């Protein structure tokens, strides 16, 4: 059975009770503001002691933008003093048209995608490992 979506008033009350999540949600919303983001929401899962973020992006958002956004959020949450205070963990889902296109977790490493050949690599180098094009 699906959990009903919270109304915006319920979300505001929830965030008022949990200032740490409110701070992190505000940081996430600010970080993604330069992309075509339709919404950014948080959901605390008490059973798993996990804070989840759902980022909905427009259909025009490219794979490169999604990758760049995920890298920016990963850096933000790894360096955030508020995230360091979490007792549990966090996870980010980036969605396009209700389809999950990227998941970011604390164990992830930044990913890079070549604009020429589309190859994705985790380690930074001066050139694409696949086609040797300079970044």
Q: Output the pLDDT for position 1.
A: 43
CB atoms within 10 A of CB 109: 9
User: Percent of the chain beyond pLDDT 90?
Assistant: 26
- The whole-angstrom separation of Cα 58 and Cα 46 is 30
pLDDT digits (tens, 9 = 90+) for 83-131: 888 878 888 999 999 999 999 888 887 777 676 777 776 665 667 767 7
Please report the domains of the chain, with CATH numbers, ordered by start residue: 8-109 (3.30.70)
Supply 87's token pair: 């007792």
CB atoms within 10 A of CB 74: 19
- Collapsing DSSP states into helix, strand and coil, what is residue 41? strand
Between 13 and 98, name the one with better pLDDT.
Answer: 98
Sign of CA dihedral 6, 38, 31, 60: positive
């Amino acid at each position: 059975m699906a959990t009903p979506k919270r109304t915006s008033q319920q979300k505001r009350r929830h965030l008022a009770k949990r200032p740490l999540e409110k701070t992190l949600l505000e940081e996430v919303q600010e970080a993604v503001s330069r992309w075509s983001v339709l919404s950014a929401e948080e959901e605390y899962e008490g059973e798993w002691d996990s804070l989840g973020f759902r980022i909905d992006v427009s259909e025009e958002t490219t794979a490169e933008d999604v990758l760049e956004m995920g890298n920016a959020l990963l850096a933000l949450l790894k360096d955030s003093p508020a995230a360091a205070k979490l007792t549990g963990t966090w996870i980010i889902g980036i969605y396009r048209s209700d389809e999950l296109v990227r998941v970011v977790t604390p164990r992830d490493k930044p990913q890079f995608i070549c604009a020429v050949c589309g190859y994705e690599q985790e380690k930074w180098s001066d050139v694409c490992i696949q086609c040797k094009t300079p970044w």
